[in-house]
Amino acid sequence: MENKNVGILIIGISIVIAILVWIFNISLRSIAGLSCTMGPTCPMYNTASVQMWVSLSIVAVVFIIGIVIMFTKPQEKIVIRKVREKEQKIRVNMNELDKDEKKIVKAIQDADGTIFQSDIADKTGFSKVKVTRILDRLEGRQLLERKRRGMTNVVVLKG
C-alpha cells in the first residue's frame, strides 16, 4: 500500500473510533443520570467526562499520525541499473584464458558485464566451488571484481 492509502485508512479508523467514543459517552451520561441520586454533582458525570477527553485525545493522536503518514513521501526502492552509453560489451583478451575461464567470461559478457556469482554456476553448469576458484584466478589477473551483496557476490567485468 502507498503511504497515502495507509494514511486515509488510519484517518478513517480514527473517525470511527471517535464516533464510538462519543456514543459511549452519551450512554454513560444517561446511565449516570438514571442511577445517580445526587444530580449534576454526582462523581459519575466527572468520570464520564474524563474518560471521554482521554479517549478523544488518543483518537486525535491517531488522526494526526494518519495525516502525517498520508503526506510523507514513501521510501524509494533501490534499483541497480546498468547504464552503458553505447551498450557495448566489455572486451577481454580471450587468448590468455583457458576454456573454463572463457566460458565464465562469456557468461558475464552475456549479462552485460554484471552478474550474480550464483547465476554463473547456473549458466555454465560448473559447481559453485569451481566457479569460485576460477573467479579467484580472474580477479587476481584484474579482469573482474567481486562485490559482496548480502549473502551473494556480484561479479563485474573490468573494462
CA angle 79, 81, 87 (to 5 degrees): 170
**How far is the C-alpha of 100 from the C-alpha of 78, rounded, in Å?**
34
Average confidence (pLDDT) over 49-60:
90
**Residue 78: its pLDDT value, please?**
55
124-130's contacts with Cβ under 8 Å and 24+ in sequence apart are 126/100, 130/100
In the three-class reduction of DSSP (H, G, I as helix; E, B as strand; rest coil), residue 39 is classed as helix
pLDDT for res 1: 60
Instruction: Give the tens place of pLDDT for each residue, 11-41.
Output: 999 999 999 999 998 888 888 778 877 776 7
Confidence of residue 87 (pLDDT cuts 50, 70, 90): very low
Spatial distance between the Cα atoms of 105 and 118, rounded to a whole number of angstroms: 14
Q: Answer whether residue 94 shows pLDDT above 80.
A: no
The pTM (predicted TM-score) of the whole model is 0.45
The share of the chain scoring above pLDDT 90, in percent, equals 38
The yes-or-no verdict on residue 62 having pLDDT over 90 is: yes
**Following DSSP, what letter does each residue of 65-111 receive, concatenated?**
HHHHHHHSPPPPPP------SS-PPPP--GGGS-HHHHHHHHHHHHT
